[in-house]
Amino acid sequence: MSENRNVVIIGSGCSGHTAALYSARANLKPLVIEGHEPGGQLSMTTLVENFPGFPEGIMGPQLVENMRKQAERFGAEYRMAHLTSADLSQRPFVLHLGHHVVHTQALIIASGASARWLGLPNEQQLIGHGVSSCATCDGFFFSGKEITVIGGGDSAMEEANFLTRFATKVTLIHRRDQFRASKIMLDRARGNPKIHFLTDTVVDDVLDVSKKEVTALKLRDLRSGKSWDHPTSAMFLGIGHIPNTKIFHGQLDMDADGYLKTRDYVFTKIEGVFASGDVQDRRYRQAITAAGSGCMAALEAERYLEGHGG
């Protein structure tokens, strides 16, 4: 079974929803493939206070649901499906959703990037309740408290430095005594009196699910084998993200970490294929920037279709 579309959008986070809204208002009748993480990272966030237009803040899941309803109002169609393969060498492009095939004149890739997690027993249950992968999003909620950052690269150093604006103390935990971070970022963190380093240490679990908040981390010294509970109000993961681009390997240009390379904001190397949001933005990774690039991708897709009889 197959169908033909003007534009297909891969992903249903802020970028995908915004692309759907603009495409639908242009009467392109977009199909949105929701993917394995419907709603993107905002669906795992509690209170969002930095998205314009909500002076009292809004819950992450509610924000993405509002975006979806707005796009659907103008004719966007959403489908719970997974993209299993794509052929971008043909015109129209060929997308396989399991046994179903979709042919599309234009494609917007807004599949996002998934945060790297530690895989701890209680980690997922405490996301949004003290476990976070975004200091910019959640740091403010821990003003005046002691918090912990996990990681040894530039992301961890940047998160730790940023969080000292709010926390009384930031403990940075790394499993080795050597760091991947650049010298300038490491020196900046080491020079911050609020940041304390704990090396050769791993996190075995996060507490306390019964209280629905982070109260401590179960730590283990890799040299001595000693375990102990480290009191903290939050655990921020600074171990990077994984862009959801695997299906496009060998077809689109990517950097060493798998983020899609774009020119002029949203253009990929293949005419008619656009990328927006965290799948190509490793610098900002904010809901509002993802939404903005989703708008750009939709506008460019509309122009592309106009020029190609779509």
Q: Which residues are catalytic?
A: 134, 137-138
Element holding 188 (H helix, E strand): helix 183-190
- Two tokens, residue 94: 């060929």
Task: Determine whether 266 is exposed, middle or buried from the number of CB atoms within 10 Å of its CB (0-12, 13-18, 19+).
Answer: buried
Q: How far is CA 277 from the centre of its chain?
A: 8
3-state secondary structure 241-274: EEECCHHHCCCCCECCCCCECCECCCECCCCCEE
Q: What is the CB neighbour count within 10 angstroms for residue 94?
A: 16
User: β-pairing, 227-231 with 216-221?
Assistant: antiparallel
